[in-house]
Amino acid sequence: MTVTPTILNGGEPASIGFGGGTVTLVEGATFCLSDRHGDVLAGRSHGLFFRDARVLSRWQLHVDGGEPESLTVQTPEAFAAQFIMRRTPRAGVADSTLLLVRDRLIADGLRETISLYNLADEPTVVSLELLVDADFADLFAVKEGRAPIGGAEISLVDNELVLNDRSNRVRGVKITASGSPVVTPGVFRWRVVVPPRGTWQAEVVAEPTWANQSVKTRFRTGEELEASAPARKIEAWRGTTTTVETDLRALAATLQRSESDLGALLIRDETDERPYVAAGAPWFMTLFGRDSLLTAWMSLPLDVGLSVGTLQRLADAQGRRVDPLTEEQPGRIMHEIRRGPASTDVLGGSVYYGSADSTPLFVMLLAECWRWGADEGAVRALLPAADAALSWAARYGDRDDDGFIEYKRATDRGLLNQGWKDSFDAITDAAGHRADAPIALCEVQAYQYAALRARAELADAFGEPATAKRLRDRAATLKKRFAEKFWLPDRGYYALALDGDKRPVDSLTSNVGHCLWAGIATDEHAARLVEKLGTSEMDSGFGLRTLAADMGAYNPMSYHNGSVWPHDTAIAVAGLLRYRHVPGAVELAERLALGLLDAADAFGGRLPELFCGFHRSQFASPVPYPTSCSPQAWASAAPLLLVRAFLGLEPDVPHRKLTVRPQLPAAWGRVALTDLRLGSATVAVEAEGTVAKVTGLPGDWQLSTAES
């Protein structure tokens, strides 16, 4: 995707938001957290992380024995940064004449070029020390602030610094440097004279090792950033995805950042080219079920191949047996995969299945990417996985044969809550009391309804009319029972869930927006939901709160009980526009979307995983949530869903049909998509307000641009 007009040339201010002042770089499954000096400081959550373990726990540069003074940080891409500093001025002197720049690139390792620029007319002597260490701590231990076990054995081999995991010696890291440093265990030292108006450089490379073998890093010594493998990967991503143009600066900047971040989070293993997007930095740099599926769905206007790759990888890991330790069950789609040293202790194994919604979302996405032009052979090959998923829902998901999918963790190590709001206190009633399991979430039933209809559509496509009818009948029954059991007529909204005693959990939450998106709501119910979602208790002015402000558990600084999640708001907006015939739905969708874009603008174009739910009348800018992931996949993809929803863009490639029914906010002006690939066709869509123009559509296609 190429976004125009170009807002940024060269570098952007670094995205700050994790821990206040932390700079996050990400490329594939590798990421690095440091401070604004570029330092990875011991005793913090900083580090270079590879395969879910911290392979650098200290990477600290001293200049003349002290800390240089930070001027700014530039992040031209999500995987690269420039830390621009100066030597701290001597006492009584206002200015410094030594500029220090640390150019960092990550890609299965770390490469850093240290540059000194002498801006004075006489030579200057500079002493540099780079202090390095590795504790090889598991990602979960770092996240939870637990003291690492083990540490590094440090040795010198031919002037290379080699650090190996003391606990098992499988993991390690090798560090080399140019510039003729003096190397001692844990320290690289340079003492140099920089000539007048001259420059000095040294390059330091950290390469992870596995079983004493170096992992192949995707950069070369001395190569320019633009020539590196990560840069080539992001350019290839941009070259094959849809081009988006928009007149609204905030939307253009946000889409530009979405493009960069999704490209950086994109993972293709060396031995497996099927793409997927890691869930988010810093803690979720791996394949997830729910997160990866929803991100792929939102990104369909860019690249249908991402959806196919995600589905294929998840099908490979689909549950085949019953294992209470990992919560694996036949047909179940996993929650997450981990490769860290403590994954078995934390998750019960490298793959954990404790998710109630990943399985129906899998079936939903399969039919959706079929509509968007996925290869027929690939879709056919995934039908057995979809059928196994629906079998899981009937046999294991529905624990008591009441027609609803419930969850209850199998052991005390599993997740208490297994929907997208999976924190321990996320499911509460209006008074603030936590619900007891088994719990049947409203949005999970909505996803299951959509999954049944999705598989019925595929059954029609592949000559199974009897199967299609049976599945649609099941969906209709589920919709009827859902309305009977979840609707709260005295409240005017769906219950968040049914608890273990089948009592409605009666809090007002953003989850009901997902019910609109999946289409399970009746028109009558949708009209009431529009009223409820549009209140100041739900609409923060920067997006939809996860929990209404008048509920007992409301806390705008919580993870799931009053915060704003961009992907959640985008799904609600798409749901509202699905019911655009309902009075007030379009107006509310526009208000929520514009508020979310205002938040994106305040965050420099990069929407974080979540932010605090204070109303904008209280604080003029959105308040960051301290440990929010940034970049985060479905937050990055959320603006794409907004564009698609307001365009009313719904392709049906197998039937050679395209629907474009725009309802664009006036503030957006013109929005255009070019190089939109729909199967073998490549089309352009241009819209403003409620008027659309489509060019490049083959003559045998049917185009619909008006409400039926």
Considering 625, 647, 669, which residue would you say is the last residue of a domain? 647
* Res. 14: pLDDT tops 90: no
With left for phi above 0 and alpha for psi between -120 and 50, is residue 286 left, alpha or beta? beta
Whether residue 249 is contained in a domain is answered as: yes
Low-confidence winner among 65-74, 203-212, 581-590 (lowest mean pLDDT): 203-212
Considering 232, 267, 302, which residue would you say is the last residue of a domain? 232
In the chain, pLDDT over 70 holds for what percent of residues? 92
Name 444's Cβ contacts closer than 8 Å, sequence gap at least 6: 356, 357, 360, 405, 419
Q: Say how far apart CA 540 and CA 529 lie, in whole Å.
A: 16
Structure tokens at 615: 């109303």
Q: Are residues 160 and 260 in the same domain?
A: no
Please provide residue 225's backbone torsions phi and psi, each rounded to the nearest 5 degrees.
-55, -45
Q: Over range 17-23, report the average pLDDT.
A: 61
Cα-based distances in Å from 472 to 344, 448, 457: 40, 12, 9
pLDDT of residue 216: 72
Whether residue 489 is contained in a domain is answered as: yes
Q: Over range 100-117, report the average pLDDT.
A: 94
Whether residue 445 is contained in a domain is answered as: yes
Q: Say how far apart CA 147 and CA 153 lie, in whole Å.
A: 17
For residue 362, which of 334, 381, 399 has the smallest C-alpha distance? 334
Question: Which amino acid belongs to residue 31?
Answer: F
CATH number of the domain within which 188 lies = 2.70.98.40
pLDDT tens readout for residues 543-571: 999 999 999 999 999 999 999 999 999 99
Structure tokens at 322: 């019953």
For residue 608, which of 538, 559, 555 has the smallest C-alpha distance? 559
The pairing of strands 497-498 and 504-505 is antiparallel
Q: Are residues 75 and 133 in the same domain?
A: yes
Q: How many domains does the chain have?
A: 2
Considering 630, 647, 664, which residue would you say is the last residue of a domain? 647
Q: How confident is the model at residue 707 (pLDDT cuts 50, 70, 90)?
A: low
How many separate helices (H) and strands (E) can be counted in the chain? 15, 34
Whether residue 12 is contained in a domain is answered as: no
**Residue 485 and residue 497 in contact, taking contact as beta carbons nearer than 8 Å:** no
DSSP state of 194: E
Q: Which domain holds residue 181?
A: 22-232
Q: Are residues 94 and 120 in the same domain?
A: yes
CATH number of the domain within which 472 lies = 1.50.10.10
Q: Say how far apart CA 188 and CA 180 lie, in whole Å.
A: 9
pLDDT of residue 159: 83
pLDDT tens readout for residues 532-545: 999 999 999 999 99
The pairing of strands 649-652 and 199-210 is unpaired
* Res. 340: pLDDT tops 70: no
Whether residue 673 is contained in a domain is answered as: no
Structure tokens at 346: 């934390």
pLDDT tens readout for residues 579-598: 999 999 999 999 999 999 99
**Cα 288 to the chain's mean position, in Å?**
10
Q: Over range 665-680, report the average pLDDT.
A: 93
**Mean pLDDT score of the chain, rounded to an integer?**
90
Alpha helices in 211-269 (DSSP H): 229-240, 249-265
Q: What is the largest CA-CA distance in the chain?
A: 87
pLDDT of residue 2: 35
